[in-house]
Chain A
């Protein structure tokens, strides 16, 4: 197993370098002169622009720039925000805990509702319960999460006053955004849980367990569920990506001070160092999370070895 983990770690290095390169190239691919865009609205002379260019290292060859960029990233230096002139790492560090909390809460919603309804639907296959939950799930993946969030806010925050409308101070602030964000992923997970469980339940060893006279509940939780873990884990790993970027949209709905709000503000103002920082951090987190999921595979299924 140690070997498997080691190979997976080594295998993600080219992807990490690729991600760094894409993020690095973002500024260089902007149509027009990034320096002009950055100094937008301010009258500048050619000398001033050259000075900024030199300061940013944009006058040097691309490979040199890339190495400098990677060197900076490794040392935790992502440059300074054009807008606030503060270091990008400081700007992002203030927002990361909020987005992590929101995505984490939404993940909890996803796993509880998704696996719960999926197992329920599979156990009562063909019943009205199965029919309703699966029908609801296809509707749930079609509802824009930002609209669902607005509805939740109107009902539970504005009208009933049970939860705060916006902000990020207490756990209460998390409830509505997490529900809005978790809706879609829950529905996706419910469908996959149901179909995987149904597949496993049709296998011989489950029939044997039933033939031995074991109770249904026992068969499902002790015999069938462990074999549904891998597909569920895989999907959860992928859905975390959807939750991270979905959080960006939901943050706007609830005026929630997270990374997404920062990113969207920065895109609107063309504050490239911050944009690069948020994009890089999100992609790297996603890679690390999926690496962790892969390592979890090895724990849940002893047959998994690097081949």
Chain B
């Protein structure tokens, strides 16, 4: 594999040679080292276990949910948690447990899609800017600086204002809102990689720009992208829940966690279960990505610990 040389040094950004690349380890063994380090980190293991459970729950939701998440029943409204309804029922008599299970599917999907849009778009922009340099880079930088001037959720809110509320628009908005960060990250990586010898070698043997970018540079930007991406997935789930909470995301009767929380707000005092369980679900999902992301960062770059 022609890309392995740069694999392990790329992530330090400044071209510092680590012990790994000096021995020219194969790609496979590098990955297995990272996985072994990951398994030794208790927090990464906890995060991984929570995440795998959530993914299984999300996939199996239609099979394991005891009730239809949308089925209303006047006689069953505001039932406290019981063996019939593990998490109780809401103001429409819907089973909160079933709704939380289905919500896992929605939140994970929105988080994943938004992150993929951000990573994909950002990587493309950063790669082109960093690779071609000159005016392409300076124009790209100005655009990124402009987008970064809209902090936190502001860019997403502005995009939703244009596209209109709804879960699909939320994931588009979060995806676009995340792009500048990835563009910046990838651009920095590309700048340090493109001056290295193996890129020059590829150019000498006649490789074209797209091939150099895809086959030689892209693989070397993967590890920081995985770390940032996993942390970002947690953030996107949180952000999507926030936007649904304020009414700009999921619309009724969608069993989305943030939206369920906002619906349960009026009943917090006496029917605590309506908002508590979706809240716990959000915390678990976001926590799993944060633990995993932290663990991944340490595994890819042990020096970054502390």
Contacts and interface: CB of A to CB of B under 8 A. Distances in A.
Interface in A252-307: 252-253, 263-264, 266-268, 270, 272, 275, 279, 282-283, 286-287
Contact of B258 (A144, A240, A241, A272): A144
Interface of A: 14-15, 18-19, 21-23, 26, 29-31, 138-139, 141-147, 150, 153-154, 158-159, 194-195, 198-199, 238, 240-242, 244-246, 248-249, 252-253, 263-264, 266-268, 270, 272, 275, 279, 282-283, 286-287
A154 B269 CA distance: 7
Given A248-B153, A275-B161, A150 B268 contact: yes
B154 interface: yes
A30 B143 CA distance: 20
B54 interface: no
A272 to B, nearest CB: 7
Given A26-B162, A198-B306, A267-B160, A242 B151 contact: yes
B145 A18 contact: yes
A143 B283 contact: yes
Interface of B: 43, 142-143, 145-147, 149-154, 157-158, 160-165, 234, 238, 241-242, 245-248, 258, 261-262, 265, 268-269, 275, 279, 282-283, 286-287, 290-291, 294, 306
A145 B283 CA distance: 10
A138 B146 CA distance: 30
B102 to A, nearest CB: 19
Contact of A195 (B154, B262, B306): B306
B265 A150 contact: yes
A242 B151 CA distance: 6
A249 B161 contact: no
A241 to B, nearest CB: 2
Given A26-B158, A267-B160, A282-B154, A249 B242 contact: yes
Given A22-B146, A142-B286, A272-B161, A245 B246 contact: no
Contacts of A29: 162
Contacts of A158: 268-269
Nearest to A146: B245
B272 to A, nearest CB: 8
B290 A267 contact: no
Nearest to A241: B151
Given A19-B149, A29-B162, A263 B242 contact: no
A interface: dominant SS: helix
21 contacts: A18-B143, A19-B150, A21-B146, A142-B234, A142-B286, A142-B287, A144-B261, A144-B282, A153-B268, A154-B269, A198-B306, A241-B154, A246-B152, A252-B245, A263-B157, A267-B165, A267-B248, A279-B161, A282-B150, A282-B154, A283-B151
A252 B147 CA distance: 25
A192 to B, nearest CB: 11
Contact of A144 (B146, B150, B165, B238): B238
A279 B154 contact: yes
A130 to B, nearest CB: 10
A286 B165 contact: no
Nearest to B47: A138
A18 B149 contact: yes
B282 A30 contact: no
A228 to B, nearest CB: 14
Contacts of B151: 238, 240-242, 244-245, 282-283, 286
A195 B294 CA distance: 14
A270 to B, nearest CB: 8
A71 B234 CA distance: 41
Contacts of A195: 306
Contact of B247 (A138, A143, A264): A264
A147 B146 contact: no
Nearest to B145: A15
A14 B142 contact: yes
Given A147-B283, A272-B161, A279-B154, 13 more contacts: A14-B142, A18-B143, A19-B150, A26-B161, A138-B294, A144-B245, A146-B258, A199-B306, A245-B153, A253-B265, A268-B165, A270-B161, A279-B161
A40 to B, nearest CB: 12
A123 B168 CA distance: 47
Contact of A245 (B154, B163, B238, B261): B154
B290 A141 contact: yes
A245 B157 contact: yes
A38 to B, nearest CB: 13
Nearest to B285: A142
Identify the interface centre among B153, B241, B246, B258: most chain A CB within 10 Å of its CB.
Answer: B246
Identify the interface centre among B142, B157, B163, B238: most chain A CB within 10 Å of its CB.
Answer: B157
Nearest to B158: A279
- 10 closest cross-chain pairs (CB), A and B: A241-B151, A18-B146, A245-B152, A142-B287, A142-B286, A147-B279, A245-B153, A242-B152, A275-B161, A267-B161
A224 B232 CA distance: 32
A29 B241 CA distance: 25
Contact of A146 (B142, B154, B242, B287): B242
Contact of B287 (A138, A150, A279, A287): A138
Contacts of B258: 144, 146
Nearest to A260: B246
Nearest to A247: B152
A18 B146 CA distance: 5
Contacts of B246: 146, 248-249, 252, 264
